[in-house]
Amino acid sequence: MRLILCIIYVLMGALFYAYPNITRRELLFAVPVPPGFRESPAGRHAIRMFRLAIVAAVLAGACALLLAPAGLANAMAGAMPIAISLAGAVAFWRQNRALAASAQQYTRPREAEMTSTPERLPWYGWLAAGPFAILAAAATWLYLNWDRIPERFPVHFDVSGQANRWATRTIKGVYGPLFFGAELCAFTLIMAVAAWFGARRSRTRPVMLGGMIAAEYLLGLLFALITLQAPLGIPVWVIALAPVAILIPLIIVMVRKMTEPWEPMDPTPNECWKADIFYYNPNDAALFVEKRAGLGFTLNFANRWCWVLLLCLVLVVVSARFVVA
Amino acid sequence: MAQSPRIRIDPASSVPAVRQIVDGLRVLLVEGGLGPGATLPSVRRVAVELGVHFNTVAEAYRQLAAEGWLNLQHGRGAVVVPRAVPAVAEGAGNEGFRNRLRGLVAQMRADGISVESIAGELRAMAKVVKRS
């Protein structure tokens, strides 16, 4: 199990390592830079320094996880992703500050179609119902096979794969994770619909919607597997690797789709980006705008609906305490 | 397939966004891109697409309604209405428009646009005006 976790964390490190390539060509560490800047000595230096920090963090974390005595292994397993994320965040911030002087304001005219044709979700929008069907199917199977569920079954495992938390065969114990999974899927769906109608039309918008629907499938599948793990005896490593198996192809497809030079970057004003991550522009009616750090879309924090969505997220997180046994 | 009518604004321009929206819509209304009975998209949709505040688009719609181009009814949106051209004596008021045109041409030259290009634009514009 330690080795599997180590592989997952190394893959996580690989994602951070690839980060400079997982953005538009006009952006480097969330700073809008002139075309060709990445290939300049300053651009290459920034990317090299960022990657060095990531490699150092991953190597140190992997050694610590593999060599740690049994008593410390669980702590190491929890600390490693935090350490990689922290190293990535600090390295990102350092390069972001270093490149701030090279920032340039991209600008281009914006167009609006003056027809009253109502905007609709694309044809593949109905696929968003799939994850709910998966969760419902898992719930039905559990209902029909109630006797096959052990009286007491594991719901959490330590780094060696040993169960360290248990639930009992009750409505809350059995269906709780499924209900929580449905809540997460519903929240992802709300975000996807809000992003579709609250973002400017662009060729990246359908890609974003597809990505969010795929993320919904990931959640649905993961929570169905967690719930069926005990009665079907699904190995823990399958549950640990299933999200990775979906996430990696999803990220590859999204990167390929979103970094194609289809159309120039959304020319949001530089001064409205706080720390180049948070967009706050009261004069922009858009609820979602194209991100500067990474791919996809982010919220316009000056839009009041943004706070409604964030409140929904808080409610979903808080509900876990009451829903899951 | 004919392209749907569009307006375009330049966020970097010194011309206020509301003015750019009014001018763009007026061009569509005068040239027939938007005919009587056409319903304009919602204020929210246009504001999102153009990256401006809702009030900016609402103000542009109100200005065009005041000019007699639009009928703004709550719940029905902005609908283009037939507009009678005001009767103006031949030549009256031309002076003001001529001065604005000269100012615009001067601005184009100051921005580095060639004289040939400006003349071409004006000829193309004259053809559109004659047709309408």
Question: Residue A294 gets which letter from DSSP?
Answer: S
Q: Following CA atoms A195, A201, A204, A206 in sequence, which dihedral angle do they give, to the nearest 10 degrees? A: 60
pLDDT at position B91: 66
Range of lowest pLDDT (A135-149, A178-192, A262-276)? A262-276
In a shared domain, residues B67 and B32: yes
Instruction: Give the residue-averaged pLDDT of B63-91.
Output: 83
Q: A-chain residues within 8 Å CB-CB of B46? A: 112, 114
Whether A267 has its CB under 8 Å from any CB of chain B: the answer is yes
In a shared domain, residues B47 and B98: no
Q: A-chain residues within 8 Å CB-CB of B72? A: none
Distance from CA of B85 to the nearest CA of A (A): 23
Q: How confident is the model at residue A23 (pLDDT cuts 50, 70, 90)?
A: confident
pLDDT at position A159: 65
Mean pLDDT of chain A: 88
Domain count, chain B: 2
Cβ-contact A284, A267 below 8 angstroms: no
pLDDT at position A3: 78
In a shared domain, residues B51 and B105: no
Is pLDDT at B23 greater than 90 in this prediction? yes
* Within a domain: B125: yes
Phi-psi region of A30 (alpha: psi -120 to 50; beta: other; left: phi over 0): left
Q: How confident is the model at residue A64 (pLDDT cuts 50, 70, 90)?
A: confident
Question: Residue A53 gets which letter from DSSP?
Answer: H
pLDDT (tens digit, 9 = 90+) per residue, B93-107? 678 888 888 888 998
Is pLDDT at B3 greater than 70 in this prediction? yes
* Within a domain: B5: no
Whether A285 has its CB under 8 Å from any CB of chain B: the answer is yes
pLDDT at position B32: 85
pLDDT (tens digit, 9 = 90+) per residue, A85-98? 899 999 999 999 99
* Within a domain: B35: yes
Q: A-chain residues within 8 Å CB-CB of B9? A: 109-110
In angstroms, what CA-CA distances link B40 with A19, B67, B85?
A: 42, 16, 21
**Domain boundary assignment for chain A:** 1-104, 123-325
Cβ-contact A2, A66 below 8 angstroms: yes
Distance from CA of A192 to the nearest CA of B (A): 17
Are residues B53 and A282, on separate chains, in Cβ contact within 8 Å? Answer: yes
Range of lowest pLDDT (A40-44, A239-243, B118-122)? A239-243
* Within a domain: B8: no
* Within a domain: B44: yes
Whether B48 has its CB under 8 Å from any CB of chain A: the answer is yes
Among residues A152, A222, A220, the alpha carbon closest in space to that of A189 is found at A220
pLDDT at position A73: 75
Q: Number of A:B CB contacts under 8 A?
A: 78
Q: Containing domain of residue B125, as a range? A: 94-131
> What pairs with residue A299 in β-bridges?
A288
Q: B-chain residues within 8 Å CB-CB of A200? A: 48-49, 51
* Within a domain: B50: yes
In a shared domain, residues B76 and B38: yes
Among residues A251, A184, A252, A196, the alpha carbon closest in space to that of A220 is found at A184
pLDDT at position B2: 62
pLDDT (tens digit, 9 = 90+) per residue, A215-244? 999 999 999 998 898 888 888 788 878 888
Is pLDDT at A16 greater than 60 in this prediction? yes
Q: Which tokens belong to B83?
A: 């507009």
Instruction: Give the residue-averaged pLDDT of A17-23.
Output: 86
**For B6, which of A112, A116, A267 is closest by C-beta distance?**
A112
* Within a domain: B61: yes
CATH number for the domain spanning B58: value is 1.10.10.10
